[in-house]
Structure formats: C-alpha cells, structure tokens
Amino acid sequence: MRHFIIDCDTAEDDIFSLFLLLHKGMKVHGITVVEGNVSFPVEVRNALWASDFARRYFKVDLKVYPGMERPLIKGFRTVENVHGKGGIGDSALETNAKPEPKHAVDFILETADRYPGELEFLAISPLTNLAMAYLKDKSLPEKIGKVWVMGGTINGHGNITPAAEYNIWVDPDAAKLVFNAGFDITMVAWDLITQYTVNEEWEEIKRMNTEMSQLYINFYTHYRNFAMTRQKMRGNPHPDLITTAVALDQSVATRVERQFVDVENCDCLTRGATVIDYLGVLGKEPNVNVVYEIDRGKFIAMLLDLLGGQRV
Ligand code: BDR
Ligand code: CA
C-alpha cells in the first residue's frame, strides 16, 4: 500500500488530484492546506467539501489540516482571476464539516514518523508547509519517501511572472529550502504541462454524463476559459493532475533527467524562477528528478477512467 499526504491550495485541479489518488486506491492520510490560489478560508472549505464528497463517493474518511496561511518571509498574492473566487469558478462550495485542530506541519511530522521511508508527499501547491516541517525536524528528508512537486519551469516560461511558476513564486524561500534539503524530489514543471491540455476531449467529457464528469466540467470551465483566452492554450491545463498521474504511474513520465535545481529568491525580475544546472557547471550533486516529457495518451486515459465511473 502507498501512503500519501496531499498538500493543497485547494482549487479545481487540486481537488481532482485528490480524487485520482482515491480512485487508484491510494491511502491518503490527510489533506494539508497551504496559502496559494484563493483566500485561505476558501481553500480550507474546498478541502472540507472534497473530503465530504470523498466520504460518500470513495467511502473513505479523510481529515483536513490547515497549515501555513502565508509564505515564510515575504508576501504573495492569490489568483482568483485564474481559478475564480471559489477556486472552482466563482461559485462557493458549501459544507458544515470542520477542519482538525492540529496544524498541518505537526500532522506532516507525525505521519512521517509513523511511516518512515514510506510516506509520499504530493506538493501541488507552494512549499511552505513542507519547509516549515523541515525546519522543525531536519531529519525529515530521510523519513519522507518521495516528494512530488508541481512547480517551476524547465524552459524558463513562467505563468505568474515571465520567469516564474506560481507555486514556487508564492514562497521561493520555502522552495529553496526544500530543494536543497535532500528530499527525493520529482518536479513536474509548468511549461511541461502546458503541452498536454484537454482539447477536443472536453466535448467527449461533456457527453459522458457521470457525476464525476459533470463535476469536472463545472469545476474546470473558469480555468479553461482563462487558459484559452489569457494564456493562449488550446485547452485546459492540469498541472496538479499530471503531477499526480506521474506519482501514481511513473511510466507516465517518458523522459526524466536527474539534475541540480535551485530556486531564485531575490527581490528581482526572476524571483521564484527554478534554475536548472543543465551542464553541471556548479559542480553540485543532482537533487531533483526533472520530468521533460509525458505520455499524453496515458494521462488522458487515466483522466477519462476517473471521470467515467458511476453514471448518473
Ligand atoms: C499551480 O499553481 C496553482 O494555480 C495551481 O493549482 C497549480 O498548482 C500552477 O502554476
Ligand atoms: Ca495547486
């Protein structure tokens, strides 16, 4: 059995990443929430809604642990223009569920102690929770088996700034700590995933008429419109979901290279950029498995399989 914590700034793609993990039968020990996409209370509420949904649909009990509400050092901004005010478009998800009183950082540390070497941390969000956990326990990189990171760029094409991807840009100090701490990291970059959008499949998904497919269309419509108009994409991207697919089945990643990656945290034009030492000129040990290509067919098949279940 594989053990996961999913760390979210809970918007549409984060929620579907959770659903894909559960659909594939993974043991998800908890959802930790961190600052990012939308206001923190909305992110927590979305995570609680997702755990309610998961209880009914996947028959699992899932707890939500709110974590860091802001980056380690500097400020950041949320991106309601990208994901809508509710993170799944402009409407709000409602739930009466309550989060756990335990802080996400303590939950991460306790779970890593309980499953040494086995726990996998799916970081589809800024890295503040993981960095804080590491600051509290410097042996965490030996205790966490794998860290799957949605973040950064491989060709320098950012989304929040010309050079930086949002998750890393929100808290580059946290990312710098995490990348240099000795975790077993696999990185799925923004400018990789933009090549693998859902295009004409959108209409096929609309026709599926399952509970999951309807939810998908509702949740991703805002993001799709933003991506196709403002980001000039052919369809809607899935940064978090592709990272999850790679974590679930490593054969989804068809080209992976081990390289030294660092993070720029200056107050400058390139703040939050990931710097990859392609030629090894820094003479540092490689610290990240960088994904350069994925099997689109495999990813789309996983997505359609998730969406096809349980007809309405
Ligand atoms: C990443 O930032 C967020 O907007 C998304 O949820 C994704 O994790 C993409 O840059
Ligand atoms: Ca995310």
**Nearest protein Cα to ligand 1, atom 10:** 166
**Could you report the per-residue pLDDT of 248-260, keeping only the tens digit for each?**
999 999 999 999 9
Residues 177, 280 contacting (CB under 8 angstroms): no
The DSSP code sequence of 195-245 is TS-B-THHHHHHHH-BHHHHHHHHHHHHHHHHHHHTS--SSB--HHHHHHH
Residue 258 CA to ligand 1 centre (angstroms): 23
User: What are the residue ranges spanned by the domains of the chain?
Assistant: 3-190+237-295
Q: What is the reported pLDDT for 20?
A: 98
What's the chain's length in residues?
312
**Could you report the per-residue pLDDT of 165-222, keeping only the tens digit for each?**
999 999 999 999 999 999 999 999 999 999 999 999 999 999 999 999 999 999 999 9
Residue 283 CA to ligand 1 centre (angstroms): 31
Number of the ligand 1 atom closest to the C-alpha atom of 125: 8
Helices (H) and strands (E) in the chain, counts: 13, 10
Number of Cβ within 10 Å of residue 48's Cβ equals 24
Q: Select from 124, 94, 120 the least CA-distant residue to 33.
A: 124
Q: What is the reported pLDDT for 149?
A: 99
Number of the ligand 1 atom closest to the C-alpha atom of 124: 8
Q: At 290, is the secondary structure helix, strand, or coil? A: strand
pTM of the model: 0.98
C-alpha 165/C-alpha 191 separation (Å) is 9
C-alpha 306/C-alpha 187 separation (Å) is 23
Q: What is the reported pLDDT for 311?
A: 38
Q: Which of 13, 17, 168 to mutate to test the pocket of ligand 1 (most atoms within 8 A of CB)?
A: 13
Name residue 199's amino acid: N
Number of the ligand 1 atom closest to the C-alpha atom of 11: 6
Residue 41 CA to ligand 1 centre (angstroms): 17
Confidence of residue 312 (pLDDT cuts 50, 70, 90): very low
Question: CB under 8 Å to 59, separation ≥6 — which residues?
Answer: none
- CATH code reported for the domain at 3-190+237-295: 3.90.245.10
Q: At 256, is the secondary structure helix, strand, or coil? A: strand
Q: Which ligand is nearest to the CA of 188?
A: 1
**Could you report the per-residue pLDDT of 218-243, keeping only the tens digit for each?**
999 999 999 999 999 999 999 999 99
Q: In angstroms, what CA-CA distances link 269 with 78, 175, 178? A: 19, 17, 22
Q: Select from 101, 111, 22, 16 the least CA-distant residue to 58.
A: 22
What is the strand order of the sheet 3-8 is part of? 64-66, 27-33, 3-8, 119-124, 144-150, 185-188, 288-294, 253-259
Residues with CB under 6 Å of ligand 1 are 9, 11, 13-14, 37, 79, 82, 124-125, 150, 159, 165-167, 190, 239-240
**In this structure, what token pair is assigned to residue 126?**
């800024």
E-only strand ranges, the chain = 3-8, 27-33, 64-66, 119-124, 144-150, 185-188, 253-259, 261-263, 274-276, 288-294
Residue 262 CA to ligand 2 centre (angstroms): 21
All residues with CB under 5 Å from ion ligand 2: 9, 14, 124-125, 240
